[in-house]
C-alpha cells in the first residue's frame, strides 16, 4: 500500500504536479469561500472560460500565455461590469454575454492556429506537464492571494455580509467587489494549467461549497475548503497516475466532488 | 483561554502586518456633542437621487441628546429622510449637517438601522462577530479587530444577548437579530442613532429591552426613530412629522437637560 503511494513520488513530474495542485487548491478554496458566499459562481465561470482566447491569442502573437490570460479575464470582468452598468440591464445576462462572446472568440482563434490537439491541455488541463516556471507562477499567486485575503479580511467579510453597513462605515463595498474579482481572475489564470479552462471554476466552487456546509465562520469555511481541495487534488492525481484512462484534470474535479457529496449527506444541519 | 496555536497564529499575523501602512478610513474624530446634532436647511430628497422628491425644502433641527420620533403616513418619506441623514442617499437640494458635518459615507459617528436590513442569507457568522463589526469603525484598513472587546461584551449584556453570542446569525429570530443590530450600532460609539421602525416584528420582551436601552438617560446619544405607534410618542422629547412633502416639528425639547439628567 505504502509503495503504491510512494512510487509516483520518484517521478519529478509527479512531485511538481502535486505541489501545483496543492498550491492551486489553497488559492481557489480560499477565494472560493467568497465566490460561493456572495453567489458569484457564474462570474467565476465566465472569468475562467474567457481565459481561452487570451491564451490562444498570446500563443499566436508569441508572448506569455499568463499575460494573455490575465488580460482576457480582466476584459471579461470589465466588460460585464460595463454592460451591467446601464439602467435596467441585469448583471446576470451581461456576464452571460461576455462569457459566450469570449469563448466563441477563443474557438475562432483556435481555428486560426490550425491545431486543436495543442489546445486540449488548455481546455482540460495538463497538470503533469507543469514545469518549474509554471510552479513559480502558481506559488507567487498563492502567496499574493492569501496576503490580499488576510489583509482585507474584515472589509471583505463586512462587504459580503452587509453591504449597506459597509458603505456606512466607508469600507467601500464596490471597491471590495472589484478587488475580489481581480483576485479571482489572478487565481483562475494561475490554475488553468491544473484542470483546464473548462473545469477551473470547479476548483472555486466545489471545495468552498463543501466548506459552507461544514464551517460556521468565514475562516472555518476556508479551512474546510482547503482540506477538501487538498484531499481531492492529491487523490485525483494518484487516480490518474494509476488509471491513465482518467485525465488528471477530470480526476481532480471528480475527487473534489466526493467530500462535497459526503458533507451534503452527513454534515449536521446548522 | 485562547489555544496556543491561535495565539501563535495571531502573533505571526500581527508581525507580518506590522510593516503595512494603516490607512484610516473612518477614524472617529471624537468630539463632545454640543448644540445641534442634526441640522437641515432647505432639504429636498427622494428615494432615488433622480426620482421625484418625497419632501421639499425641509427646515428642522434636533438638539444633542434629544430623543426624537419621526412620524407620518406610509410613503411620506420617513425612510428616505433617515437614509439622507445617514449619507446613503444624496440630498437633491439643500444642506444637512449631522454631528456637525455633512453625512458623507464613512463616518463612525452616525449609526443607521434599516427597516429591512439586507444581510446575505446563510452567511457563516456568529452573533458576537456581527456585533464586533461595529468596532470596525475604529479600525483602519488592513487592521484586524484588536480592541473594543469590552464594549462588545457590554453591549451584548445590555441587550440580553450574552447567552446567544456563539449562535450563527442565520439561526437568530427576528427580534434577536434586531437586538444584535442595535448592539452593533451601540458598539460603534455613534452619537446619532437613526432607527427605521426598529420595533416592527418584535415581541414585547425584545421591544422592552430595546426601549430600556434607548431611553436610558445615561447614554449620551441623540435618537431619531421612525415609528407608527401613537402610544409610544409620550416617551420622546420631540416629534417630527412628515406629511405631504413637508417636515414639521411638533413639540420641542431643549437638548442639554436630557443629556445629564
Query: pLDDT band for position B30 (50/70/90)?
Result: low
**B203-231: per-residue pLDDT in tens?**
888 888 888 888 876 667 889 999 888 77
* Positive/negative CA dihedral, A181, A186, A190, A196: positive
- Identify the pLDDT of residue B19: 53
Please tell me the CATH code under which domain A2-262 is placed: 1.10.3470.10
Distance of CA B69 to the CA centre of its chain: 15
Chain B CB contacts of A170 under 8 Å are 25-26, 105-107
In the predicted structure, residue B160 carries a pLDDT above the cut 90:
no
Q: Is A221 on the interface with B (CB under 8 A)?
A: yes
Q: Is A267 on the interface with B (CB under 8 A)?
A: no
Q: Give B100: exposed, middle or buried? Use CB within 10 Å, 0-12, 13-18, 19+.
A: middle
Higher pLDDT, B73 or B251: B73
Q: Is B119 on the interface with A (CB under 8 A)?
A: yes
Query: pLDDT band for position B142 (50/70/90)?
Result: low
Spatial distance between the Cα atoms of A21 and A199, rounded to a whole number of angstroms? 14
Q: Is A225 on the interface with B (CB under 8 A)?
A: no
Selecting from A37, A154, A212 the residue whose C-beta is nearest the C-beta of B145 gives: A154
**B63-103: per-residue pLDDT in tens?**
888 889 999 888 888 999 999 998 888 889 888 888 878 88
**A63-100: per-residue pLDDT in tens?**
888 899 999 998 998 888 888 877 777 888 889 999 99
ipTM value for the complex: 0.84
Lay out the sheet containing B93-98: strands in order across. B55-63, B36-45, B93-98
What's the mean pLDDT when you consider all of chain B? 80
| Three-class secondary structure of residue B53 per DSSP | coil
What residue in B sits closest to A216 (Cα-Cα)? Answer: B124
Helices B4-17 and A132-151, axial angle in degrees (round to 10)? 100
**Is domain B66-88+105-259 annotated with CATH 3.20.20.70?**
no
In the predicted structure, residue B254 carries a pLDDT above the cut 60:
no
Contacts of B161 (CB under 8 A, 6+ apart): B127, B131, B155, B176, B179, B180, B183
- Identify the pLDDT of residue B24: 45
**Cell triple for residue B232?**
409610544
Residue spans per domain, chain B: 66-88+105-259
- Identify the pLDDT of residue B258: 43
Residue spans per domain, chain A: 2-262
Cβ-contact B99, B110 below 8 angstroms: yes
Tell if the CB–CB gap between A170 and B26 is shorter than 8 Å. Answer: yes
Spatial distance between the Cα atoms of B158 and A261, rounded to a whole number of angstroms? 43
Query: pLDDT band for position B252 (50/70/90)?
Result: low
Query: Would you write out chain A's pLDDT as a tens digit for each of its 270 residues?
Result: 788 888 888 888 999 999 999 999 999 999 999 999 999 899 899 999 998 899 888 888 888 888 999 999 989 988 888 888 777 778 888 899 999 999 999 888 888 876 666 677 778 878 878 888 889 999 999 999 999 998 888 889 999 999 888 888 877 888 888 889 999 999 999 888 888 888 899 999 999 999 999 999 999 999 999 999 999 999 999 999 999 888 888 999 999 999 999 999 988 765
- As a whole-number percent, the residues of chain B with pLDDT over 70 amount to 79
CA distances from B194 to A253, B40, B256 (A): 49, 15, 19
Contacts of A218 (CB under 8 A, 6+ apart): A33, A37, A153, A157, B124, B125
B238-243 and B36-45: which strand pairing?
unpaired
Contacts of A44 (CB under 8 A, 6+ apart): A32, A35, A184, A188, A201, A204, A205
Lay out the sheet containing B192-196: strands in order across. B110-113, B192-196, B222-226, B67-71, B238-243, B246-251
Nearest to B136 by CA among B156, B106, B165: B106
Q: What is the dihedral angle through the alpha carbons of B46, B50, B52, B54, rounded to the nearest 10 degrees?
A: 10
Contacts of A129 (CB under 8 A, 6+ apart): A13, A121, A193
Selecting from B26, B120, B133 the residue whose C-beta is nearest the C-beta of A37 gives: B120
For B246, list phi and psi in degrees, rounded to 5. Answer: -125, 150
Average pLDDT over residues B42-50: 85
Amino acid at each position: 500500500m505504502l509503495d503504491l503511494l510512494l512510487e509516483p513520488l520518484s517521478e519529478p513530474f509527479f512531485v511538481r504536479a502535486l505541489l501545483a495542485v496543492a498550491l492551486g487548491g489553497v488559492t481557489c478554496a480560499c477565494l472560493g469561500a467568497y465566490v460561493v458566499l456572495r453567489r458569484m459562481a457564474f462570474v467565476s465561470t465566465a472569468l475562467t472560460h474567457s481565459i481561452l482566447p487570451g491564451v490562444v491569442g498570446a500563443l499566436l502573437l508569441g508572448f506569455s500565455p499568463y499575460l494573455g490570460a490575465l488580460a482576457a479575464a480582466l476584459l471579461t470582468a470589465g466588460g460585464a461590469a460595463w454592460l451591467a452598468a446601464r439602467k435596467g440591464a441585469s448583471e446576470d445576462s451581461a456576464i452571460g454575454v461576455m462569457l459566450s462572446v469570449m469563448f466563441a472568440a477563443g474557438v475562432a482563434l483556435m481555428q486560426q492556429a490550425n491545431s486543436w490537439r495543442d489546445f486540449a491541455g488548455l481546455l482540460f488541463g495538463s497538470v503533469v506537464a507543469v514545469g518549474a516556471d509554471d510552479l513559480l507562477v502558481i506559488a507567487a499567486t498563492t502567496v499574493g492571494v492569501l496576503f490580499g485575503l488576510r489583509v482585507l479580511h474584515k472589509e471583505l467579510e463586512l462587504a459580503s455580509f452587509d453591504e449597506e453597513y459597509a458603505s456606512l462605515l466607508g469600507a467601500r463595498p464596490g471597491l471590495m467587489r472589484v478587488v475580489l474579482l481581480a483576485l479571482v481572475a489572478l487565481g483562475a489564470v494561475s490554475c488553468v494549467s491544473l484542470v483546464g479552462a473548462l473545469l477551473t471554476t470547479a476548483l472555486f466552487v466545489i471545495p468552498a461549497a463543501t466548506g459552507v456546509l461544514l464551517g460556521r465562520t468565514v475562516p472555518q469555511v476556508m479551512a474546510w475548503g482547503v482540506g477538501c481541495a487538498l484531499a481531492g487534488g492529491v487523490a485525483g492525481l494518484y487516480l490518474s497516475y494509476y488509471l491513465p484512462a482518467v485525465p488528471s484534470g477530470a480526476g481532480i474535479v471528480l475527487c473534489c466532488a466526493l467530500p462535497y457529496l459526503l458533507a451534503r449527506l452527513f454534515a449536521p444541519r446548522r | 483561554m485562547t489555544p496556543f496555536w491561535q495565539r501563535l497564529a495571531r502573533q505571526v499575523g500581527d508581525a507580518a502586518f506590522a510593516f503595512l501602512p494603516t490607512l484610516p478610513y473612518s477614524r472617529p474624530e471624537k468630539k463632545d456633542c454640543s448644540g445641534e446634532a442634526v441640522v437641515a436647511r432647505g432639504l429636498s430628497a427622494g428615494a432615488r437621487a433622480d426620482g421625484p422628491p418625497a419632501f421639499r425644502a425641509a427646515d428642522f433641527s434636533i438638539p444633542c441628546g434629544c430623543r426624537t420620533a419621526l412620524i407620518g403616513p406610509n410613503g411620506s418619506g420617513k425612510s428616505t429622510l433617515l437614509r439622507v441623514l445617514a449619507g446613503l442617499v444624496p440630498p437633491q437640494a439643500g444642506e444637512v449637517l449631522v454631528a456637525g458635518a455633512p453625512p458623507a459615507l464613512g463616518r463612525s459617528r452616525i449609526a443607521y438601522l434599516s427597516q429591512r436590513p439586507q444581510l446575505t442569507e446563510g452567511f457563516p457568522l456568529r452573533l458576537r462577530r456581527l456585533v464586533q463589526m461595529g468596532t470596525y469603525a475604529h479600525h483602519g484598513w488592513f487592521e484586524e479587530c484588536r480592541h473594543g472587546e469590552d464594549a462588545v461584551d457590554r453591549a451584548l449584556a445590555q441587550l440580553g444577548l450574552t447567552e446567544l453570542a456563539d449562535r450563527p446569525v442565520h439561526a437568530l429570530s427576528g427580534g434577536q437579530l434586531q437586538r444584535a443590530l442595535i448592539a452593533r450600532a451601540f458598539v460603534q460609539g455613534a452619537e446619532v442613532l437613526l432607527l427605521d421602525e426598529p420595533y416592527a416584528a418584535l415581541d414585547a420582551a425584545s421591544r422592552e429591552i430595546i426601549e430600556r436601552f434607548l431611553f436610558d438617560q445615561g447614554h449620551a446619544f441623540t435618537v431619531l426613530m421612525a415609528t407608527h405607534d401613537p402610544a409610544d410618542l409620550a416617551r420622546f422629547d420631540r416629534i417630527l412629522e412628515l406629511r405631504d412633502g413637508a417636515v414639521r416639528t411638533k413639540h420641542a425639547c431643549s437638548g442639554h437637560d436630557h443629556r445629564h439628567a
